[in-house]
C-alpha cells in the first residue's frame, strides 16, 4: 500500500533540507477531517529558520510540486501545512489491498523477533475468578496481535502452582480431607479447605508454622506432599481448561512456578558469586537501595524456602536461553509493580546479555473490584469467571430469543455474543484503569459494546446476502465512493495496520477495541444515509464492495481481540 505520510515527507523534502524519515515522524493526523488528512506542523522549524510558522508553511506550499493523483489540495492553517489525499487514490489503495489479501493488515515487521507473553497464570486449587479475566484477555489479545504482525510469539501460562499456599492446602487436607470430595468438585472443595485453614492460621501461629514446613517439605521432595500437590494440580487444570475453551485461549507453554524448582539453585549460586546476596534476619536478600528501591528483594526466606522472586529470576534465565526473546511481557495487576521492579533489577546480576534485561516489561493493569471492595480467595468473596461467562451467555440467549426467535443455532450465537460482551467490556477500557465489576454494565448490550460490533458485522453479511455475488475489485468504479461517509470508512480501513502497530508499541489492546467501535459507527452512518441495493449498477457494486470490506476488517479485528463473529443474530 502507498505510505501517504512518507510520500508527503518526500514532497516537503524537496524544499526542506531534513531527512525524509525524520520529516515523516513530524507529520500528524488531524482529529478534525476538515483540517486535511495529514498535517505538517511548521512550529518545529521556526527556531532554526527564524521565521513565523505561518510564513514557513506558506513558503513550503509555494515551492513544493505535488501530483494531483496523490494529493488533492494543500492549504495553510495557523502554522500547519494541511494535505488532502486524492479520494479515488486512497479508495484504490485500500480496496485493492483488501481484494488481494485475506489477512488484511497482516505484516512482517516482526519477522526474526521473539516475544514472550506471560499471561493468565491462575493459582492452582483456587477458583478462576473475574480477577484473572484481565490478565487472560489482555494477554491473549497481545499474543494474537504480535503474531499477526509477524513476531514469533510464545504464550506462557505461568501457573501459580507452588508456594506457601500449597503448604496450607496440604495441612488442611491432612486435617479435614475426608470431609471434602475434591474428585467430584475439586476447585470448590479445595477453596473451602483453603478458607478454613487460613482462618485457623489466624488463630494459631503453630498451624501457620506447620503450613510453612509443609511447603519446605514439598521443595525438599517429600513423597506425600508431592503426590498431593500433583493431584491438586491435575484436577485444577482440568477445571481451568473449561474456562479457556470458552474464552478461546491457547498457550504454547504451561510451565508454572514449580517447573523452576530445580532451576533455582543456579540462580542462588550466581547471586552468591556476585557478593550481593546478603543475610538479613535469617533470610537471604538483595539490597536495592542504590537503585532507589527501598524494599529488599528476598531470595530465600528465613526457613530456607524460596520466594516468587527466586522463581521469576529462574524463569528469566530459562526463557532467555530457550526463547532468545527480544521482549518478555508480564501481564499482572499493578499491585505487583514493586515485585517486578525488584526482579528486573536483580536479573541484571544473572550475567545474561543486556538484550534480555532491557526486554523485560511489566504490562500492568487495574484491578477488578466488587462494588463492596477488593476480592479475596482467603475471605471467600469472589465471582467465578465461569459463572460470569455462563450468565452472560444466558442473558444473550434471552435477548436473542425475544428479538429473533426463529434464529438458527441460537445456542452457538448466544455463546459468541455473551463471551464477546465480557471480553470486549474488559478490553475497551485503558488497561491501567481499575474496573468496578457491575453485572448491569458488563452485560449491557447497547452502546459501545462487543455485541454492537457483532451486530454491525451481521448487518454487512445481511447486505451481501441480497446480491448474487460480491463484485470483483477490478470492476469497481471508485469515483462512486467519494462521498463523506464512504471516505470516512476508507480512511479508517487504511489505518488498520497502523492501529495494530500502536497496540504493540503501547501494549494497549483498547486501541484496537476503540478502532472497531469507530469503524462500526462509520459503517452505521454510511448504512443509514445511503441505499446500498440500488438501480445504478456501478453505485451498487461500489457500495457492496465497501460493505464487504468493512465486514472483513471487523471480523479480523474482533478475532485478534478473541471475539468470534456470528453470521446472523
- Sequence-distant (6+) residues with CB within 8 A of 170 are 211, 214, 215, 218, 225, 228, 229
Three-class secondary structure of residue 285 per DSSP: strand
Q: What is the rounded CA–CA span in Å between residue 426 and residue 253?
A: 24
DSSP 8-state class, residue 154:
E
Provide CB contacts within 8 A for 234, sequence distance 6+.
none
The three-state secondary structure class of 80 is strand
CA angle, corner 264, sides to 157 and 257, nearest 5? 20
Which residues are paired to 152 by β-bridges? Answer: 114
With 0-12 / 13-18 / 19 or more C-beta atoms within 10 angstroms meaning exposed / middle / buried, residue 545 is buried
**How far apart (Å, rounded) are the C-alpha atoms in residues 566 and 569?**
7
Q: Do 454 and 569 form a contact (C-beta atoms < 8 A)?
A: yes
Report which DSSP code applies to 501. H
Is residue 526 within 8 Å of residue 460, measured between CB atoms? no
User: Looking at residue 83, what DSSP letter applies?
Assistant: E
Among residues 5, 126, 147, 491, the one annotated as catalytic is 126
The closest alpha carbon to 365, from 157, 133, 124, 160, belongs to: 133
Helices 484-494 and 496-506 meet at what angle, rounded to 10? 40
Phi and psi angles of residue 531, each rounded to the nearest 5 degrees, phi first: -80, 135
> How far apart are alpha carbons 501 and 506 in whole angstroms?
9
3-state secondary structure of 48: helix
- Return the axis-axis angle of helices 205-219 and 186-203, rounded to nearest 10°: 130
The alpha helices in 300-384, defined as continuous H runs, are: 308-323, 337-347, 354-358
Q: At what angle do helices 133-148 and 496-506 cross, to 10 degrees?
A: 130
CB 173 within 8 A of CB 196: no
Whether 132 is a known active-site residue: answer yes
Q: Which of 5, 87, 92, 132 is catalytic?
A: 132
In which region does residue 292 sit, left (phi positive, over 0), alpha (psi from -120 to 50) or beta (all else)? left
Mention every residue, 6+ apart, whose C-beta is less than 8 A from residue 114. 151, 152, 153, 154, 323, 324, 325, 326
Q: Distance (Å, rounded) from C-alpha 292 to C-alpha 122?
A: 31
Across the beta sheet with 71-77, the strand order is: 38-41, 80-85, 71-77
Which set of grid coordinates corresponds to residue 3? Answer: 505510505
Considering the candidates 92, 129, 284, 416, report the single residue annotated as catalytic: 129
Residues designated catalytic = 126, 129, 132
Amino acid at each position: 500500500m502507498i505510505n501517504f505520510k512518507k510520500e508527503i515527507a518526500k514532497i516537503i523534502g524537496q524544499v526542506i533540507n531534513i531527512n525524509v524519515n525524520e520529516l515523516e515522524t513530524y507529520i500528524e493526523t488531524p482529529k478534525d477531517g476538515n483540517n486535511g488528512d495529514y498535517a505538517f506542523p511548521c512550529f518545529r522549524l521556526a527556531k532554526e529558520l527564524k521565521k513565523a510558522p505561518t510564513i514557513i508553511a506558506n513558503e513550503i506550499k509555494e515551492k513544493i510540486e505535488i501530483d494531483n493523483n496523490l494529493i488533492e489540495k494543500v492549504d495553510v492553517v495557523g502554522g500547519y501545512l494541511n494535505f488532502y489525499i486524492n479520494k479515488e487514490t486512497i479508495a484504490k489503495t485500500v480496496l485493492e489491498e483488501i481484494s488481494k489479501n485475506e489477512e488484511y493488515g497482516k505484516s512482517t515487521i516482526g519477522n526474526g523477533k521473539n516475544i514472550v507473553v506471560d499471561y493468565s497464570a491462575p493459582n492452582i486449587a483456587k477458583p478462576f475468578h473475574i480477577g484473572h479475566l484481565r490478565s487472560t484477555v489482555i494477554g491473549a489479545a497481545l499474543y494474537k496481535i504480535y503474531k499477526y504482525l509477524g513476531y514469533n510469539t510464545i504464550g506462557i501460562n505461568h501457573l501459580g502452582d507452588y508456594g506457601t499456599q500449597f503448604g496450607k492446602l496440604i495441612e488442611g487436607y491432612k486435617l479435614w480431607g475426608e470431609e471434602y470430595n475434591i474428585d467430584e468438585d475439586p476447585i470448590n472443595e479445595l477453596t473451602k479447605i483453603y478458607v478454613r485453614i487460613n482462618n485457623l492460621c489466624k488463630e494459631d501461629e503453630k498451624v501457620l508454622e506447620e503450613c510453612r514446613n509443609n511447603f519446605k517439605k514439598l521443595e525438599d521432595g517429600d513423597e506425600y506432599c508431592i503426590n498431593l500437590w500433583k493431584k491438586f494440580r491435575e484436577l485444577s487444570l482440568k477445571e481451568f481448561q473449561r474456562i479457556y475453551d470458552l474464552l478461546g485461549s491457547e498457550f504454547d507453554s504451561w510451565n508454572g512456578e514449580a517447573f523452576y524448582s530445580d532451576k533455582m539453585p543456579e540462580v542462588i549460586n550466581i547471586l552468591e558469586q556476585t557478593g550481593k546476596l546478603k543475610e538479613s534476619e535469617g533470610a537471604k536478600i538483595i539490597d536495592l537501595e542504590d537503585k532507589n528501591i527501598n524494599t529488599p528483594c528476598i531470595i530465600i526466606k528465613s526457613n530456607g524456602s524460596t520466594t516468587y522472586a527466586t522463581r521469576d529470576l529462574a524463569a528469566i534465565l530459562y526463557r532467555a536461553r530457550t526463547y532468545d526473546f527480544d521482549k518478555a511481557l508480564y501481564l499482572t495487576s499493578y499491585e505487583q509493580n514493586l515485585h517486578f521492579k525488584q526482579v528486573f533489577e536483580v536479573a541484571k546480576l544473572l550475567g545474561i546479555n543486556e538484550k534480555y534485561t532491557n526486554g523485560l516489561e511489566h504490562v500492568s493493569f487495574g484491578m477488578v473490584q466488587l462494588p463492596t471492595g477488593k476480592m479475596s480467595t482467603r475471605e471467600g468473596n469472589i465471582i467465578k469467571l465461569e459463572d460470569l461467562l455462563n450468565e452472560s451467555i444466558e442473558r444473550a440467549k434471552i435477548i436473542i430469543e425475544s428479538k429473533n426467535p426463529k434464529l438458527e443455532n441460537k445456542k452457538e450465537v448466544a455463546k459468541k455474543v455473551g463471551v464477546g460482551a465480557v471480553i470486549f467490556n474488559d478490553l475497551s477500557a485503558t488497561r491501567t484503569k481499575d474496573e468496578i465489576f457491575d453485572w448491569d454494565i458488563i452485560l449491557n448490550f447497547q452502546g459501545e459494546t462487543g455485541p454492537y460490533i457483532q451486530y454491525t458485522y451481521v448487518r454487512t453479511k445481511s447486505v451481501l446476502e441480497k446480491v448474487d455475488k460480491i463484485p470483483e475489485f477490478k470492476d469497481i468504479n471508485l469515483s462512486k465512493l467519494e462521498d463523506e461517509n464512504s471516505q470516512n470508512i476508507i480512511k479508517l480501513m487504511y489505518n488498520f495496520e497502523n492501529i495494530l502497530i500502536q497496540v504493540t508499541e503501547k501494549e494497549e489492546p483498547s486501541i484496537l477495541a476503540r478502532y472497531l467501535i469507530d469503524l462500526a459507527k462509520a459503517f452505521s452512518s454510511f448504512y443509514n444515509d445511503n441505499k446500498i441495493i440500488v438501480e445504478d449498477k456501478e453505485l451498487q457494486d461500489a457500495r457492496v464492495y465497501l460493505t464487504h470490506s468493512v465486514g472483513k476488517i471487523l471480523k479480523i479485528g474482533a478475532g485478534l481481540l478473541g471475539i468470534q463473529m456470528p453470521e446472523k443474530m
